[in-house]
Amino acid sequence: MPTIRSALVVPASVAAIVVGVALVLLTLVSVYASWHNGAVRCMDRPLPSGVPPEGGFTADTVWWPVGLRCSYSRSDGSAAVVAPSDWGATVALYGGMLLAALGVVVLLVTMLRRRR
């Protein structure tokens, strides 16, 4: 006979999966908006030292920490890389993935235990 505690495991696991997936999706939508306008965001930043105003740049997406990396060409030919970290988005994205994964694992273990 299932106890009250074991009866709460399935709804809690499903809630963890739903919240985790929602957190991941919301974070990806937010991050995509910043990635989509990456060139504009790199142009709006103050230039690193030694980078002429007419120097070239590239905007790259990075997954750790989640965000945008701006690479500028210095006048001497070297590169200046500015990678501002967005740890809030990183924690939300990977925390949501972890929460959803734990919910799936607990749900599967609970289902396997009930079959015995």
Q: How far is 96 from 88, CA to CA, in rounded Å? A: 12
CA dihedral 64, 70, 71, 75 (to 10 degrees): -150
- The SS3 assignment for 1 reads coil
Mean pLDDT by 10 residues, the chain (116 residues): 67 93 93 80 81 82 85 83 81 95 92 80
Residue 70 phi, psi dihedral angles, 5° rounding: -105, 125
| Domain total of the chain | 1
Structure tokens at 91: 């924690």
The pTM assigned to this predicted structure is 0.76
Residues 33-59 have pLDDT tens digits of 877 777 788 888 888 888 888 878 888
- pLDDT for 76: 83
Alpha helix stretches (DSSP H) within the chain? 4-36, 38-44, 87-115
Amino acid in the structure at residue 24: V
State the pLDDT at residue 26.
94
Which residues form the domain of 53?
4-115
Q: What pLDDT was estimated at residue 5?
A: 62
The structure tokens listed for 34 are 């910043």
